[in-house]
Amino acid sequence: MSIKNNKRYLPEGKYVMMGNVAMSEGALAAGLNFFGGYPITPSTEVIEHLTKRLPEVGGSCIQMEDELASINAVIGASLAGVKAMTATSGPGLSLMVETISMAANLEIPFVLCDVQRVGPGSHGPVTSPHHNDLGLIRFAGHGEFQVIALAPMNCQELFELTITAFNFAETYRCPVFIISDAYLGHLHEPVYIPPKEQIIKKVIKRELPQDYTKFFSYKDDMTGQYVIPKTPIAGTEYFPPTSLHLPHNYAGLPTSNSLEFMEMLIEKIISNIDKISITEEYRLEDAEIIIIAYGLPVRACYRAVDIAREQGIKVGIFRLVTVWPFPDKKVKEVIKNAKAIIVPELNYTGFIAEQVERVKKLEIPIVKIPKVGEFHHPEEILNVIKEVSK
């Protein structure tokens, strides 16, 4: 496609695009300036499209020597102050997890698109979808942290949700994943691109803040909310004096209270779950059978529900657009009076089915006793036992 004058935004209109290309155009509209990747089926079209488009808008696209180098280059570019992303598949994600863990500690934002294929292993039907990385995405690395994962179901959503993903990354400074798969990435569908003024209004920019003393997230003592400052930029005055990958306070200096640090990494996302969790409901008002699904299988569910309703069966769909963090409260509310729950997933383990089971069984209390870096004391456990037995 040939575009003149300010090539970042496509002119308004309807285009027929492949899923991977729609996602790349969404990333460009969100302000992408660096892409470091490695070719792997089925995500190769992303790097091939961005190699042509990123130099046109003044950005850089580089094919690195392996996935480890790709994700490290993305982290470096994010530290230097530009928006960066990478795209890979299952075997590549397995290689990248150490760096994702480091980026979660230092709260460096980036977006990773996982175009899943059949696994485990590196051979096999690489152009067939298999949502097998849900567990790996949720626990993408050693250590404890919380990620955000979005699951689009058609090419229009691949364009729009990528912009949302970049906004989440800038606001919450955590790894953000886009869950795609081999069929969705290669599907050609019509995509409507809105005019550029509408897109620019939605995008959150990377810029320098007013306050140059706080670099990492912390809990405000007065209000109890988590404050997330803007990302530091190397080469400017706004950069922490040391940034070791260990539990630290808001200035980057090491702290001995590791438990508070883990709590911050997880709670800064969970406490904002109402703004992060995007869901859709379809004919749920009087449903007795509820379908909970995400991604590609939802397309078939819409048609099945229409046919079933004509035959008088009361069924509805609760669709998850944000898969992680899992919306415990909303799901518990929806399945309160259900007679049966159906969870169609493109995998055997049923990662989301397990989460729904966990939410359903939360009638008896489960009390956690968290500790980091030290032993439990028998007295602490005894106190909790006494409290629960009342």
Partner 1 sequence: MSGLGPRYPTEKPDHPYVQHSFGGFLFGSYNSLFCAGCGYGIIGHLFTRVFEDDKLDPLSFPLIIGIGCYTQLVTLAHHNSQKIFALHGRAPAIATGIKLANPKLKPIIFTGDGDSLGIGGNHFIHICRRNVDCVILIFNNSIYGMTGGQGAPTTLYGSKSTTSTYKTFENRSDAVKLALAAGASYIARITVAHPRTLMKYFRKALNHKGTSIIEVITPCLTYFGSKNLDSLGAEYLGIQGSKMDTGGKMIDWIKRNCVRKNQARFMDDEELFNRYIIGEFRYDASKPEYSEEYAKIQKRSMEED
d(CA 50, CA 162): 15
- In whole angstroms, how close is the CB of 234 to partner 1 at the nearest point? 5
Which one, 2 or 223, has the nearer CB to partner 1?
2
- Asked if 36 touches partner 1 (CB under 8 A), the answer is yes
CA distances for 279 relative to 74, 141, 194, 202, 313, angstroms: 30, 27, 22, 19, 23
Residue type at position 246: L
CB of 347 to partner 1, least distance (A): 30
312 lines the binding site for partner 1 (CB under 8 A)? no
**For residues 237 and 379, which CB has a smaller minimum distance to partner 1 in the complex?**
237
* Interface with partner 1 (CB under 8 A), residue from 39, 41, 48, 62: 62
Minimum gap (Å) between residue 5 Cβ and partner 1: 11
Which of 197, 210, 221, 241 is in the footprint of partner 1 by CB under 8 A? 241
Nearer to partner 1, 56 or 357 (CB): 56
What is the spatial distance between Cα 296 and Cα 234, in angstroms, rounded to a whole number?
A: 40
The type of residue at 352 is I
Q: Which stretch binds partner 1 (CB under 8 A): 143-151, 242-250, 306-314, 357-365?
A: 242-250
The site for partner 1, by CB under 8 A, has a size of: 45
User: How far is it, in rounded angstroms, from Cα 114 to Cα 78?
Assistant: 19
Q: Does 2 bind partner 1 (CB under 8 A)?
A: yes
186 contacts 19 by C-beta, under 8 angstroms: yes
Helices 19-29 and 44-53 meet at what angle, rounded to 10? 40
Q: For partner 1, which is the closer residue by CB, 10 or 155?
A: 10
What's 55's DSSP letter? G
DSSP run (H or E) holding 281:
strand 279-282
Q: Is 270 in the site for partner 1 (CB under 8 A)?
A: no
Residue 60 binds partner 1 (CB under 8 A): yes
Residue 1 or residue 270: which is nearer to partner 1 going by CB? 1
- Is there binding between residue 206 and partner 1 (CB under 8 A)? no
Nearest to 151 by CA among 119, 129, 173: 129
Q: Which is nearer to partner 1, 215 or 351 (CB)?
A: 215
E strand or H helix at 71: helix 67-79
How far apart (Å, rounded) are the C-alpha atoms in residues 173 and 12? 31
What's the closest the beta carbon of residue 102 comes to partner 1, in angstroms?
Answer: 6
The residues, ordered by sequence, that sit 6+ positions from 86 with a Cβ below 8 Å of its Cβ are 35, 36, 37, 70, 71, 74, 96, 110, 111, 112, 113
Q: For residue 5, state whether it binds partner 1 (rule: CB under 8 A).
A: no
Judged by CB under 8 A, the residue of 208, 244, 270, 388 near partner 1 is 244
First to last CA, the chain: 70
Give dist(CA 309, CA 341) in Å, integer: 16
Among 10, 17, 29, 74, which residue interacts with partner 1 (rule: CB under 8 A)? 74
Tell me: does residue 75 bind partner 1 (CB under 8 A): yes
Piece of the chain touching partner 1 by CB under 8 A; list 41-49, 58-66, 180-188, 375-383: 58-66
Cβ atoms of residues 290 and 334 within 8 Å: yes
Report the nearest approach of partner 1 to the CB of residue 355 (Å). Answer: 31
Query: 354: how many CB neighbours lie within 10 A of its CB?
Result: 14
List the one residue from 17, 40, 84, 112 that touches partner 1 (CB under 8 A). Answer: 84
Q: SS3 of 184, please? A: helix
Quick check: 235 binds partner 1 (CB under 8 A)? yes
Chain positions contacting partner 1, by CB under 8 A: 2, 4, 7, 33-34, 36, 52, 55-56, 58, 60, 62, 64-66, 68-70, 72-82, 84, 98-99, 102, 234-237, 239, 241-245, 254, 256
